[in-house]
């Protein structure tokens, strides 16, 4: 393939300003048990604990409520959150918060409870419907204190300035991007990953890998986000297969959690790309798991983008353990695609879109929604085929 240079591949321009946000976090075993201590430092009267039935069944919610009890705090548990959290679940959670006179929120779970908790927080402080916040910097007033305990190694909702909510009426997902939805503190405890089954482990890790890759090729990346993105890619690519085969290995789980954290820091500041734009569109229409959508789409987007950011993708390939040497670009691209496809196949994510319910009639509507998604703005290649 002929190499075309692009502005993306030039050295960082010292005249360009870059902002870098990152919340406070604690990383390590038993971090989840500090929830009570931190809720107390926020002078909590009553805490709303936002979680879901699966996380409750795994026992992680109870660990958190016990720590609240130990700190002498009262709480209400709201677990009406489904995967791909709906706008009505956010509004129902806000009603529980108000009815219970809560003043601090603790979210325990994967991206769904955490995004729902962010939604509840901004609905409470701004007294508006959750769907009115779609877009960048549309949140006027900060939310009540939010403490997150993530239980999946993937979404990084616990440290990001993104909240993704499903508009069930329009069957799409809205992205709320604002500094106002960055949690106050994240208690990142790798022990919580031990309850994840192999398929969810693979889906969430491939979501995190996609965060690292899309942040690294984003036109608004910076030398700071690059450091985090490459380390995320290295940690996830080198440990994903081992962790899926050794689910009880805390050391491997810790490496994936650390990779996810690096990826989250990178994408929260450099944003994402076409894989996520299409995953949001797919997940909104057909309620497919977010990580699974990304895993299925990632290599196709890399193939599409490669010609405008080949030097960046080369660095990604090397972070994934490839020795690309002086290979021609076409061979480099083929090796990188094979590496991504290999990670997906070893993770046993084998479904094709049509097996998940996507048919030809869905393509125009999926494409239209994806093209309008905020993540598409930072995809490195902007020449898209015409949607009819």
Mapping DSSP to helix (H, G, I), strand (E, B) and coil, where does residue 51 land?
Answer: coil
* Stretch touching Fe ion by CB under 5 A, among 76-84, 143-151, 204-212, 248-256: 204-212
Query: How far is the CA of 139 from the CAs of 91, 117, 270, 303, 359, in angstroms?
Result: 16, 15, 20, 36, 37
Output the residue with the shortest Cβ distance to Fe ion.
Answer: 207
| Closer by beta carbon to Fe ion, 52 or else 63 | 52
Q: CA angle, 11 as apex, 9 and 14 as ends, to 5°?
A: 135
C-alpha torsion 92→98→102→108, nearest 10: 10
Token pair, residue 149, equals 């305990």
Q: Could you tell me where the DSSP H helices lie in the chain?
A: 35-41, 53-58, 60-70, 87-99, 111-126, 198-217, 223-245, 250-270, 274-286, 290-305, 310-319, 329-346, 363-372
* Stretch touching Fe ion by CB under 5 A, among 74-82, 86-94, 203-211, 346-354: 203-211
Nearest to 264 by CA among 222, 317, 187, 212: 212
- Nearest approach in angstroms of CB 386 to Fe ion is 27
How many chain residues touch Fe ion (CB under 5 A)? 1
Query: From the list 63, 115, 207, 373, which residue makes contact with Fe ion (rule: CB under 5 A)?
Result: 207
- Nearest approach in angstroms of CB 294 to Fe ion is 6
| Closer by beta carbon to Fe ion, 47 or else 375 | 375
Measured in Å, how far apart are the chain's first and last C-alpha atoms?
Answer: 29
* Stretch touching Fe ion by CB under 5 A, among 25-33, 116-124, 199-207, 257-265: 199-207
Contact present, 110 and 152 (Cβ < 8 Å): yes
Mapping DSSP to helix (H, G, I), strand (E, B) and coil, where does residue 177 land?
Answer: strand
- Nearest approach in angstroms of CB 110 to Fe ion is 11
| Closer by beta carbon to Fe ion, 95 or else 351 | 351
325-384: contacts with Fe ion (CB under 5 A): none
283-302: contacts with Fe ion (CB under 5 A): none
Question: Using CA atoms, how far apart are residues 308 and 5, in angstroms rounded to an integer?
Answer: 7
* Stretch touching Fe ion by CB under 5 A, among 207-215, 236-244, 256-264, 361-369: 207-215
| Closer by beta carbon to Fe ion, 212 or else 317 | 212
Token pair, residue 133, equals 């916040």
- Nearest approach in angstroms of CB 7 to Fe ion is 26
- Nearest approach in angstroms of CB 337 to Fe ion is 20
152 secondary structure, DSSP code: S
Name the pairing type of β-strands 162-167 and 172-177: antiparallel
Question: What per-residue string of b and e applies to 259-276 under the rule 16 or more CB within 10 Å gives b?
Answer: bbbbbbbbbbbbbbbbbb
- Nearest approach in angstroms of CB 154 to Fe ion is 7
| Closer by beta carbon to Fe ion, 207 or else 292 | 207
| Closer by beta carbon to Fe ion, 77 or else 208 | 208
* Stretch touching Fe ion by CB under 5 A, among 98-106, 185-193, 206-214, 343-351: 206-214
Question: Using CA atoms, how far apart are residues 211 and 259, in angstroms rounded to an integer?
Answer: 10
| Closer by beta carbon to Fe ion, 226 or else 292 | 292
- Nearest approach in angstroms of CB 326 to Fe ion is 34
Question: Using CA atoms, how far apart are residues 177 and 93, in angstroms rounded to an integer?
Answer: 20
| Closer by beta carbon to Fe ion, 104 or else 232 | 232
| Closer by beta carbon to Fe ion, 124 or else 232 | 232
- Nearest approach in angstroms of CB 156 to Fe ion is 8
- Nearest approach in angstroms of CB 281 to Fe ion is 13
| Closer by beta carbon to Fe ion, 32 or else 280 | 280
**Which residues lie near Fe ion (CB under 5 A)?**
207
């Amino acid at each position: 393939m002929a190499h075309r240079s692009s502005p993306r591949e030039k050295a960082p321009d010292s005249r360009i300003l870059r902002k870098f946000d990152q919340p406070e976090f604690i990383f390590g075993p038993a971090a989840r048990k500090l929830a009570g201590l931190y809720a107390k430092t926020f002078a909590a009267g009553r805490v709303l604990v936002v979680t879901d039935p699966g996380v409750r069944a795994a026992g992680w919610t109870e660990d958190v409520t016990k720590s609240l009890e130990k700190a002498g705090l009262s709480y209400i548990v709201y677990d009406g959150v489904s995967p791909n959290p709906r706008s009505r679940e956010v509004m129902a959670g806000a009603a529980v918060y108000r009815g219970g006179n809560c003043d601090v929120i603790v979210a325990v779970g994967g991206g769904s409870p955490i995004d729902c908790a962010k939604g509840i927080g901004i609905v409470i402080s701004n007294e508006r419907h959750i769907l009115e916040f779609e877009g960048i910097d549309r949140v006027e007033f900060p939310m009540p204190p939010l403490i997150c305990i993530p239980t999946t190694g993937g979404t990084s909702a616990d440290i990001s300035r993104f909240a993704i909510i499903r508009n069930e009426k329009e069957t799409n997902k809205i992205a709320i991007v604002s500094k106002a939805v960055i949690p106050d503190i994240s208690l990142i405890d790798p022990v919580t990953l031990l309850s994840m089954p192999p398929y969810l482990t693979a889906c969430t890790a491939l979501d995190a890998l996609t965060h690292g890759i899309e942040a690294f090729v984003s036109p608004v990346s910076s030398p700071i986000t690059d450091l985090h993105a490459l380390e995320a890619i290295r940690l996830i690519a080198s440990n994903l297969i081992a962790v899926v085969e050794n689910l009880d290995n805390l050391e491997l789980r810790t490496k994936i959690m650390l990779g996810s954290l690096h990826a989250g820091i990178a994408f929260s500041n450099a944003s994402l790309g076409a894989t996520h734009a299409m995953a949001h569109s797919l997940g909104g229409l057909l309620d497919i798991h977010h990580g699974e959508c990304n895993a299925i789409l990632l290599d196709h987007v890399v193939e599409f983008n490669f010609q405008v950011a080949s030097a960046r993708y080369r660095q990604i390939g090397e972070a994934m353990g490839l020795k690309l040497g002086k290979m021609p670009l076409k061979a480099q691209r083929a090796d990188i695609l094979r590496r991504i496809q290999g990670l997906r196949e070893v993770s046993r994510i084998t479904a094709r879109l049509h097996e998940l319910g996507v048919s030809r009639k869905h393509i125009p509507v999926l494409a239209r929604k994806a093209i309008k998604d905020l993540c598409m703005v930072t995809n490195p290649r902007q020449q898209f085929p015409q949607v009819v």
